Amino acid sequence: MLKALAPGLLISSLLILVTAVESGFPRCNCDDEGSFWSIERILETQRVSDFFIAVAYFSIPIELLYFVSCSNVPFKWVLFEFIAFIVLCGLTHLLNGWTYGPHPFQLMLALTVFKILTALVSCATAITLITLIPLLLKVKVREFMLKKKAWDLGRKVGIIMKQKETGLHVRMLTQEIRKSLDRHTILYTTMVELSKTLGLQNCAIWIPNEMKTEMNLTHDLKGRNYSYNFTIPITYPDVVRIKGSDGVNILKPDSALATASNGEYGEPGPVAAIRMPMLRVSNFKGGTPELVQTCYAILVCVFPSEQHGSWSNQELEIVKVVADQVAVALSHAAVLEESQLMREKLVEQNRALELARQNAMRASQARNAFQKVMSDGMRRPMHSILGLLSMMHDGNLNNDQQIIVDSMMKTSNVLSTLINDVMDISTMDSVRSPLEKRSLRLHSMIKEVACLAKCLCVYRGFGFSIEVDKSLPDLVFGDEKRLFQVILHMFGSLLDGNSGEGTVLLRVFTQNGSQECNDQRRAAWKHSSSDADVHIRFEIRIDNSNSELEGCSMSEVQISERRYNSRGAEERLSFSICQKLVQLMHGNIWEVQNPQGSAQSMALVIRFQVQPSI
């Protein structure tokens, strides 16, 4: 204030003085005794003024000396020149105060000397100041540069403080968002906390529908219940622009997206929107070659119109970082939701497995109880029959009776073996019947088979004939019970599938390479046989007047390719068991069908190890 007034007062005084000189002052009436400004008063006033000026001049150097002694001030010699100049000026005014009255010559001489010294010191000081002006200008420039640097530092500190404040807001928002793993809670918390931090008027979230054709307003800060009535096509220009950009987009006030997001809560202010990736579990399955299209939601923030003119960079940065944090939180929620669903499915599957295990245990217990009852109910009568046949076998019997009794005993043993197999088999598909291989009389067994087969054929109304190769070995190594069981099954299968007419022919002969059919499936097992082995073929067929067996030239079909009647399931099980038994004995079994689809003939080839004669 004083710096501004001092030049003005000085210029005004000069103008008044110049005007007065030009117009000419009237001569002062100094001799007028009635005037206030008489000569005596003027002189006295000047004397007092000189004394006060001298006192002021003497006090200023004292203050300067104290200042120079207490601080390290540059250009001290210049200050000392100023001190000397001020002291001399003070002495001049002090001596001048004694000259208004009668004064001696020495006083005038001293005043003259001090004025000369004052003039010299003032000139020296002025010359010194001329040399110091460039230095003072440099100091001024340096001061300006320091001020500019201080301003830049202040601006940077302000930016850092804003960044720190932004980071604080973001951390606070992130902590609030991460408190929950529910998708809807995360979105609602985001809207509430972002509105508190930025002072928003409204905040809304738009999510695409399942067909990805429209954007639905699903979450609103005001909690509107009719949010799903607000839809915007996904091809809307603002929606396309937001989804195609990674940053925050400023919407126009007349945008449909901004208007629908603000609702009926007054005039909207500046509106900003950003996309939020809605990550799925499939996005985290590494190594998948499938291209999964990313689904984006839109976060819309609306400022009040009376509080904000535009969005600042700090606010836009907060919105962008919060959108990224929401995307991460939603991805975690999606993974947790998927794992929860998988856990529930596993619990349900474990519950079903436990129920199945309990059912299996109950079924196993019931099967064991049934086997025990069946064992007691079937084995005891069979043992009684075997005991009776054993007593008859030890009696005096002729050859025919002996053959019949032996056949009955063999049949009883086969039936007993079947009962044991039924009791021991746990499942139909895991038949592992052990073989009891030992030396057997092949001729005797064939006689017993023929005796029993003849009885069955006569009972069914068929004739019976047998052809046995004379070169057939007698003593061989094999399982007599299993072989007898398979041959009886072959007879039973043929007799059950044909009407009571014709003759059943049993042929037993040695199989060799010239008699084989060219069937690789049945011949594959013969490659491992040795020279001491013999392949015996049991062939059973029904001859009648309407059909004739064409031997190996006819189509031979494996048991898995047969056509079954109403008893097909039982026959399938029986043939499956027989086929497994034959495979265990290193053999094969097949059948030939007639035009009606029933078995016309069956053949069995077994590899035996020939025993030397005793």
Q: Among 339, 299, 305, which Cα is nearest to 320's?
A: 299
Residue 595: per-residue pLDDT: 61
Out of 3.30.365.10, 3.30.565.10, 3.10.20.310, 1.20.210.10, the CATH code matching 397-610 is: 3.30.565.10
- Taking a C-beta distance cutoff of 8 angstroms, is the pair 246, 277 a contact? no
In DSSP notation, 546-565 reads S----GGGS-EE-GGG----
Give whole-number Cα distances, 487 to 23, 249, 444, 579, 608, in Å. 165, 90, 14, 12, 15
For the stretch 327-330, contacts whose Cβ atoms lie closer than 8 Å and that sit 24 or more positions apart, written own/partner, are 327/276, 327/277, 327/278, 327/279, 329/177, 329/178, 329/181, 329/186, 330/183, 330/186, 330/187, 330/276, 330/278, 330/279
Q: Among 590, 587, 589, 578, which Cα is nearest to 609's?
A: 587
Residue 598: per-residue pLDDT: 59
Please give the distance of CA 48 from its chain centroid, rounded to a whole number: 98
Topology of domain 178-283+293-339, per CATH? Beta-Lactamase (3.30.450)
- Distance, in Å, from the CA atom of 274 to the CA atom of 300, rounded to the nearest integer, reads 7
- Distance, in Å, from the CA atom of 374 to the CA atom of 368, rounded to the nearest integer, reads 10
- Distance, in Å, from the CA atom of 205 to the CA atom of 192, rounded to the nearest integer, reads 12
Question: Token pair of 471, please?
Answer: 């070169």
- Distance, in Å, from the CA atom of 38 to the CA atom of 325, rounded to the nearest integer, reads 93
Low-confidence ranges of the chain (pLDDT < 50): 2, 18, 20-21, 25, 226-227, 281, 283-284, 287-291, 426-431, 514-525, 527, 546-566
Domains 178-283+293-339 and 397-610 equal at CATH topology level: no
Residue 346: per-residue pLDDT: 93
- Distance, in Å, from the CA atom of 606 to the CA atom of 585, rounded to the nearest integer, reads 7
Question: Token pair of 510, please?
Answer: 């040695």
Give whole-number Cα distances, 268 to 112, 223, 264, 533, in Å. 85, 18, 9, 102
Which residues contact residue 490 at a Cβ distance below 8 angstroms, ignoring those fewer than 6 apart?
538, 540, 578, 589, 602, 604
Where helices occur in 497-562 by DSSP H, the ranges are 520-523
User: Can you give the residue ranges of every domain in the chain?
Assistant: 30-148, 178-283+293-339, 397-610
In DSSP notation, 75-98 reads -HHHHHHHHHHHHHHHHHHHHHTT
- Taking a C-beta distance cutoff of 8 angstroms, is the pair 280, 332 a contact? no
- Distance, in Å, from the CA atom of 236 to the CA atom of 65, rounded to the nearest integer, reads 81
- Distance, in Å, from the CA atom of 517 to the CA atom of 553, rounded to the nearest integer, reads 8
Which residues contact residue 494 at a Cβ distance below 8 angstroms, ignoring those fewer than 6 apart?
504, 540, 541, 542, 599, 601, 602
Q: Among 606, 574, 591, 590, which Cα is nearest to 479's?
A: 606
Return the half-sphere exposure (C-beta side, CA atoms, 13 A cut-off) of residue 444: 13
Residue 32: per-residue pLDDT: 53
Residue 563: per-residue pLDDT: 38
Determine which helix (DSSP H) or strand (DSSP E) holds 23, and give its type and residue range.
helix 2-23
Which residues contact residue 72 at a Cβ distance below 8 angstroms, ignoring those fewer than 6 apart?
none
In DSSP notation, 175-201 reads HHHTT---HHHHHHHHHHHHHHHHT-S
- Taking a C-beta distance cutoff of 8 angstroms, is the pair 415, 385 a contact? no
- Taking a C-beta distance cutoff of 8 angstroms, is the pair 504, 542 a contact? yes
Residue 354: per-residue pLDDT: 94
CA angle 195, 198, 204 (to 5 degrees): 35
